[in-house]
Structure 1
Amino acid sequence: MKKHILSTVAALGLAICAGAVSAQELSLGQISQYLNSLQTAQGGFTQFNQDGTLSTGTIYIKRPGRIRFDYAAPDNTLVIGGGGSLAIFDPRSNAGPERYPLNQTPLGLILRDNVNLEQADMVTGVASDGTTTTVTAQDPDHPEYGNIQLVFTADPIELRQWIVTDDVGGQTTVIMNDMVTGGRVRDILFNIQAETRNRSN
């Protein structure tokens, strides 16, 4: 389950940030420039899980280095990226969150100060059918983590869905909705220590 959440989180982070890609197949330099100009984003998501179940929730992002996923009931999982760590809060556990170094996940590539998609092997494919553009990306240092396919339409440019393929070939599909960029997002949403204290009270 934790492995599934991590792979899904990685896909969400990449997909949210790469929203500038269109059917015109922008250059990787243009996409990198967009990513580096993105400050905040928030909205909803619908997730189709590998086991056929459906999950929904809300995502918040604040570059550099911060992201949050609130899964709705009955899941109620919370995932926070901040302070160099990625923490998974399991509502069924009385223990503290499980933590991972953010820079050891694909999210670290997108949330860093300077994103460079022209780095060797980061993007492994760009394809367009005239209506949608699909960008396939992976961690160039750890291709064994799997890959992410991001699907976009144009006029207006919108991210429609993404598919994450994990290291054993399992796939999870996510569809975004009602995304808003450039708004105010509070820093406290990404404070792992504060969330841990709140849950222990």
Structure 2
Amino acid sequence: MKRMIAPLALVLAAAPLVVPALPAAAQQEQSDLAKVNAYIRAVTTMTADFSQTDRNGQTLTGQLTIKQPGKIRFQYQKGVPLLIVGDGKALTIIDYEVRQVQRWPIGNSPLGALVDPSKDLSKLGKIVPTGDPSILSVQARDPRRPEFGTISMIFKRDPGSPAGLQLYGWVALDSQNNRTAVRLTNQRYGVPVADSAFRWVDPRPKGRSAGG
């Protein structure tokens, strides 16, 4: 045990401030998480083609549109009567075939980590080793609300993209253990996107235009 050899104020004034160094791996993880945070905050708008595969192996395609904060739209291929829209507050799934609408706060979805620039991935995320230095994988989940599910975002390091990263896709696991994998191509950043893109038509009886 250290002995008191001087008043505390004098000891603090005389002693240099020593900050323990983080291990190299921990430093790299914090650096990569910071880059992902920077990417999410730098992307004001994005469009991309997507390919979505569910846990049963069914694959659907379509176009993804993102507008920060919180707006996202999955427009599925022709002939698929589904639409997913996030209007900044809620995430809505519309099934036009059965005239069903499901809606919940977007923060309660794994996608919240992707479209909410206020989230701090240093607290919600961890780096998942990929074995490829050009590929960065981040798994995000809210430890206080595990029922919101998890999302594993996959990025390619690309100096020409926002924050030096290109979003390649993600794997989402919801509270019912439904696994959905999404792969992106033809990403375009900073394109004009109208707020009307995140509106939808309610298919239920006596429906009305919604989401805007």
TM-score, normalising length: structure 2 = 0.69
Post-superposition Cα deviations, 1:87-144, rounded to whole Å, max 9, x if no partner, equal: 211111345x32212232233344335231122xx11333241342222111333223
The structure-2 alpha-carbon separation of the partners of 1:56 and 1:117, relative to structure 1 and needing over 3 Å to count, comes to same
Give structure 2 stretches of 5+ with no counterpart. 1-27, 160-164
What is the aligned counterpart of 2:185 among 147, 165, 177?
177
Does residue 66 of the first structure (1) align with residue 74 of the second (2)? Answer: no
Matches within 5 A, 1:21-170: 26-94=31-99, 97-119=101-123, 122-129=124-131, 130-155=133-158, 157-167=165-175, 169-170=177-178
In 1, Cα distance between the equivalents of 2:129 and 2:41? Answer: 23
The structure-2 alpha-carbon separation of the partners of 1:27 and 1:86, relative to structure 1 and needing over 3 Å to count, comes to same
Identify the range of structure 1 (166-175 vs 84-93) with the bigger mean alpha-carbon deviation: 166-175
Secondary structure of 1:144 counterpart: helix
C-alpha contact (below 8 Å) 1:161/1:174 kept by paired residues: yes
Amino acid at match of 1:125: I
The structure-2 alpha-carbon separation of the partners of 1:143 and 1:114, relative to structure 1 and needing over 3 Å to count, comes to same
Q: Which has the larger radius of gyration?
A: 2
In 2, Cα distance between the equivalents of 1:52 and 1:128? Answer: 23
C-alpha contact (below 8 Å) 1:87/1:192 kept by paired residues: no
The structure-2 alpha-carbon separation of the partners of 1:30 and 1:65, relative to structure 1 and needing over 3 Å to count, comes to same
Secondary structure of 1:48 counterpart: strand
The structure-2 alpha-carbon separation of the partners of 1:104 and 1:24, relative to structure 1 and needing over 3 Å to count, comes to closer
In the alignment of these two chains, the number of paired residues is: 174
Shift of 1:153: 2.8
Secondary structure of 1:64 counterpart: coil
The structure-2 alpha-carbon separation of the partners of 1:113 and 1:192, relative to structure 1 and needing over 3 Å to count, comes to farther
Amino acid at match of 2:126: T
Higher relative contact order (CA 8 A, sep 6+): 1
Tell me which residue corresponds to 2:15.
none
C-alpha contact (below 8 Å) 2:86/2:198 kept by paired residues: yes
Amino acid at match of 2:94: F
